[in-house]
Amino acid sequence: MSDFRLKVFQSVAKNLSFTKASQELFVSQPAITKHIQELEAYYQTRLFDRQGSKISLTKSGELLLKHSEKILDDYKQLEYEMHLLHNEYIGELKLGASTTIAQYVLPPLLADFIAKFPQINLSLINGNSRGVEAALQEHRIDLGLVEGIFRLPNLKYTPFLQDELVAVVHTHSKLAVSDEIAPEDLPNIPLVLRERGSGTLDVFERSLLRHNLKLSSLNVLMYLGSTESIKLFLEHTDCMGIVSIRSVYKELVAGNFRVVEIKGMPMQREFNFVQLQGQEGGLSQAFMRFAGHHSKSL
């Protein structure tokens, strides 16, 4: 029911590209151009400045983007609630999840959710926690799942699941490290860690600070963008990694990795749902209830 021209405008505004909007919406580029021209004629103002092959939003465009995001969100909520009157769960839900959650927590949950609600169009993007929060603020997703601490005041964080970070080494590593170390030993151990902006690194860094240690004082060989990369790195390099216990469960059972306890330095954290303040409800809330009900089995 929603005005498709607003969807077209929003896509062009977010991508700053008519071509990318055409690909995203599966609409021809001339049709995209026509929709934008119709909006500009209706409001009697230019929405984009065009400089060669590049475009940017005008002040009018920025104003329309601000309101179109609210209007399209309201349309989505209306569609959900109207169908709900007939006990039907229909609509579109765009999720964003930080890497660890997307890889090791969500797959079985998403499979169960799709099986129960086949008429919901579900999609998932993943990145680090800060990237997910940015996607939420830019209205590219409806609901995020992130690791670690509450960061931004305009977002609402709801605890979802408990997790723990552990230090691990490969069982064939030549690194001389015992099964238990003190936090003060960390600067002498070569490490591989997740990248800046990841929830995993944030939690590890906060744990270090409680022992008056700084990340800059450690011997970090590499910062990598995923836990899978860290696990592969550990297979070929004599160093120690900091990862979610969930991500190495199979390797620990198979005897490929072992946990090194850092005495007196627990690294507990929560996985959190994150939403824009004031935009709770709809399919996001339905997914949160479903996930909460199934969290004990995760």
pLDDT in tens, 20-67: 999 988 889 999 999 999 999 999 999 999 888 889 999 999 999 989
Please answer whether residues 72 and 121 qualify as being in contact, where contact means their C-beta atoms are separated by less than 8 angstroms.
no
Report pLDDT for 2: 56
- Tokens representing 39 are 């909006």
* Mean pLDDT over each residue of the chain, to the nearest integer: 90
Please answer whether residues 203 and 283 qualify as being in contact, where contact means their C-beta atoms are separated by less than 8 angstroms.
no
Binned at pLDDT 50, 70 and 90, residue 263 comes out as very high
Q: Partners of 74 in the beta sheet?
A: none
Report pLDDT for 84: 67
pLDDT, tens only, 201-216:
999 999 999 999 999 9
So what CATH class is 92-159+270-295?
Answer: alpha beta
Binned at pLDDT 50, 70 and 90, residue 147 comes out as confident
Report pLDDT for 151: 74
Alpha-carbon radius of gyration of the chain = 23
Show Cβ contacts of residue 176 under 8 Å, excluding neighbours closer than 6 positions.
none
DSSP letter, residue 295: G
Secondary-structure percent of the chain, ordered helix, strand, coil, rounded to 5: 50, 25, 25
Please answer whether residues 211 and 238 qualify as being in contact, where contact means their C-beta atoms are separated by less than 8 angstroms.
no
Report pLDDT for 217: 95
pLDDT, tens only, 151-183:
788 899 999 999 999 999 999 999 989 999 999
Binned at pLDDT 50, 70 and 90, residue 88 comes out as low
Please answer whether residues 141 and 124 qualify as being in contact, where contact means their C-beta atoms are separated by less than 8 angstroms.
no
User: Buried b vs exposed e over 180-215: b needs ≥16 C-beta within 10 Å?
Assistant: ebebeebeebebbbbeebbbbbbbbbebbeeeebee
Report pLDDT for 233: 97
- Fold exhibited by the domain 1-83: Arc Repressor Mutant, subunit A (1.10.10)
Domain 163-267 has CATH 3.40.190.10: yes
Q: What is the mean pLDDT of residues 229-238?
A: 95
- Of the two residues 280 and 140, the one the predictor is more confident about is 140
From 266, 66, 73, select the one nearest 166 (Cα to Cα): 266
Report pLDDT for 1: 46
Binned at pLDDT 50, 70 and 90, residue 5 comes out as very high
Report pLDDT for 85: 64
Residues above pLDDT 70, as percent of the chain: 94
Amino acid letter for position 139: H
Domain boundaries of the chain, sorted by first residue: 1-83, 92-159+270-295, 163-267
Binned at pLDDT 50, 70 and 90, residue 289 comes out as confident
Beta strands in the chain (DSSP E): 48-51, 54-57, 91-98, 120-127, 143-147, 155-170, 180-181, 190-194, 219-224, 240-244, 257-262, 268-276
Decide if 92-159+270-295 and 163-267 have a common fold. yes
- Number of Cβ within 10 Å of residue 74's Cβ equals 12
- Of the two residues 206 and 297, the one the predictor is more confident about is 206
pLDDT, tens only, 104-138:
999 999 999 999 888 888 999 998 888 999 999 88
